[in-house]
Amino acid sequence: MKKTWAKYYESYQPNKLNILLHFHYLISIIILNPKSILEIGCGSAEHSMFIKKAFNRKKISFLDNDKIILKKAKKKYSKLVNSFYEADILNKKMIQGIHHHDIAMSQGLMEHFNDDEFIKVIKNFRGKVKYFIFSIPSNYYPTIDFGNEILRSKQEIKNILSNIDRIDFSVKNYLDIGFKTKLIGAKKINNPFLKILYFFKSNHLLIKIKYL
């Protein structure tokens, strides 16, 4: 039986370390002081719920294309979340009904799209958000966790975004504490010196897009 995202999240256990792991990503959203946030590919929603509870953001909405994930999110967070949207973000018509938000955020989503799809998703959210901020695993990430991840370098992401008109963007590495994944990656390196250096590399990229 093919594993789905709903099945993936059945066995997923929220972990406070996951907040610390992506704290740079989360802070980049918080410092913009958004009044409304749309989490795309909400999954377990632990990141947006951290922002909601810790920093009292007024409006949080979820978007996912999996009915089961959204159903569970509604049951768990109905009192905290303003809107729930079921949509395929590659289909512009499906997101036309989404209300405008200050920021769209996602972590671990955009690496599942090829280059053309990557561009299409960003274009589809023009007019729906002011900023699109997301985190993805970089080419240094040592494993394929689930699905069809495409692990890109910082320069590869810059090259893709350069093909999109009327946006400002930044692509940055951020130091994370993903010791488990770094240990996996270090084991694949034979050179002792390079093995040590690997622990200081960033396994994630932070992308910030502002629509002009």
The HSE-up count of residue 107 (CA atoms within 13 Å, CB side) is 18
* Tens-place pLDDT, residues 99-141: 999 999 999 899 999 999 999 999 999 999 999 999 999 887 7
For residue 1, being part of any structural domain is answered with: no
For residue 95, being part of any structural domain is answered with: yes
- pTM, to two decimals: 0.87
For residue 11, being part of any structural domain is answered with: no
List all residues 6 or more positions away from 60 whose beta carbon is below 8 Å from its beta carbon. Answer: 36, 37, 39, 48, 49, 51, 52, 80, 81, 82
pLDDT over threshold 70, residue 96: yes
For residue 167, being part of any structural domain is answered with: yes
For residue 68, being part of any structural domain is answered with: yes
List all residues 6 or more positions away from 31 whose beta carbon is below 8 Å from its beta carbon. Answer: none
What's the domain count of the chain?
Answer: 1
Using CB atoms within 10 A of its CB, is residue 168 exposed (0-12), middle (13-18) or buried (19+)? exposed
If you compute the radius of gyration of the chain from its CA atoms, what whole number of angstroms results?
A: 17
**Residue 159 belongs to domain with CATH number:** 3.40.50.150
- Domain interval for residue 158: 18-211
pLDDT over threshold 90, residue 22: no
